[in-house]
Amino acid sequence: MIIIDGQRSPLEVHQFENLEQIIEKIMEDRRMHSRIVTDVLVNDEAFSEIYPHQAEDMEASYIKRVEIVSVPASEMAQDITRELYKVVTLMGKAGRQVADLFRQADDDQALELYGDLLDVNRDFLNMVGVLRSEYAADTSEEFEASLSDLSSLFSEMIEIQENEDWILLADLLEYEYLPVVEKTKNMVARLRDSVRTTIRQETNG
C-alpha cells in the first residue's frame, strides 16, 4: 500500500524493486512538482537516508506500506523565512557567549557551546540554500556577500579549532563573525518580504 498525503495511491509496492524507485515514481507526478517531501514512512516508521541512495537498498519485499507526506513549496518557503530570523539571532547570541567563555579560559563549556554554534550556522546556510534552490528567492548582492563571508568564516573557525588557538577563535568570533551576523540579520527581514511578494505574485498569476 502506498499513501500520498493521506490518500491511497493506485500504485502498489509490488510494482517496484525498491524504495528509491517508489519515491522517484511518486515525484514524477506533476502534482508533486510544486511540493516538498517532509516525511517518508516505511511500515509506519520514519525513514531518512544515512548514506546516499540508501532507499535503493531497501527492497520492496520488505515493505508493506509506504507513506509520503509533503507540503506546498510556498508553505515551506514561508516557514523557512520565519525560522531564519530566529536562527540568525541565536547565532549572534551564541557567538558572543563562546567568545566570552574562551577569554575566561572556560574551554570545556566554550567548546560545548561552540559545537552548537557550528550546527546552528550550518542550519542557517542550509535553509538559505533550500530557499534559493527550491524557491529561487531574490537576494541582493549585499546579502550574497554576507552569506559568502559567513561561509568563509565558518571554514576559518573550523581550521582555528583544529589548531586549538582559543584566543584567536574568540577574536575571530567577536571582531569578524558577530558583525557579519548582525548585517545578515537585517537582510533576513528583507528576504522574508521578497519571498512573500514572490508567493503572492505566483498565487495571483
**Domain boundaries defined on the chain:** 2-64, 75-204
Name beta bridge partners: 39: 69
Assigned C-alpha cell, 86: 530566529
Specify the pLDDT at position 62: 94
Assigned C-alpha cell, 159: 581550521
Question: Which residue ranges in the chain fall short of pLDDT 70?
Answer: 132-140, 199, 201-205
Specify the pLDDT at position 138: 55
Which sign, positive or negative, has the C-alpha torsion 38, 43, 47, 53? Answer: negative
Specify the pLDDT at position 59: 95
Specify the pLDDT at position 162: 87
Q: Look at the pTM and tell me if it is higher than 0.85.
A: no
Q: Is residue 101 within 8 Å of 116, Cβ to Cβ?
A: no
Specify the pLDDT at position 158: 84
Q: How far apart (Å, rounded) are the C-alpha atoms in residues 135 and 88?
A: 20
* Alpha helices in 53-177, H assignment, sequence order: 54-57, 73-103, 107-135, 141-163, 166-172
Specify the pLDDT at position 133: 62
Nearest to 79, CA basis, from 185, 165, 196, 173: 196
At the topology level, CATH places domain 75-204 in Four Helix Bundle (Hemerythrin (Met), subunit A) (1.20.120)
Specify the pLDDT at position 102: 93
